[in-house]
Amino acid sequence: MRAKDALGRFGEEVASRHLTAGGAAILDRNWRCREGELDLVLQDGPDLVFCEVKTRSGTHYGSGAEAVVGPKAARIRRLAARWLAEHPHAPSPVRFDVVLVSRPPAGPVRVRHLRGAF
């Protein structure tokens, strides 16, 4: 497994634990269709949450939040619409979150949850 893929899987696991510890229930993980992939789909109280996870080991490529704007956010919305079409009894309302996981070379892992990010 490539280092980038391993870092991404690590971040998704950290984000999953963080979100479930906060009371959310995972409905789908790494859901795929021809157009792409949704990292996490969760039930958080009454909300259906589509969550993008961004993991960084440094700031060389910018912050994870900078990566989920414009075309990326639009693609996640399109993927969410596809997921909803396949799950017509899913709860509502819908929310789009981003979880940023920072794994620095030294020190503890940091998690930042941006609710309703876009």
Q: Where residue 31 sits, what CATH number does that domain have?
A: 3.40.1350.10
Number of alpha carbons in the 13 Å side-chain half-sphere of residue 70:
3
Q: How confident is the model at residue 15 (pLDDT cuts 50, 70, 90)?
A: very high
What is the rounded CA–CA span in Å between residue 23 and residue 45? 8
Gap between the Cα atoms of 97 and 105, Å rounded: 26
Q: Which of 47, 29, 33, 28 is nearest to 96 (CA)?
A: 47
Q: Which domain holds residue 67?
A: 3-114
**Dihedrals φ, ψ of 64, to 5°?**
-60, -35
What would the pLDDT profile of 30-87 be if each residue is shown by its tens digit? 999 999 999 999 999 999 999 999 998 865 555 555 556 688 899 999 999 999 999 9
DSSP string, 38-83: EEEEEEETTEEEEEEEEEESSSTT--TGGGSSTHHHHHHHHHHHHH
Confidence label for 16 from pLDDT (cuts 50, 70 and 90): very high
Domains: count for the chain: 1
Number of neighbours of residue 10 by Cβ within 10 angstroms: 15
Q: Give phi and psi for 34, each to the nearest 5.
A: -60, -30
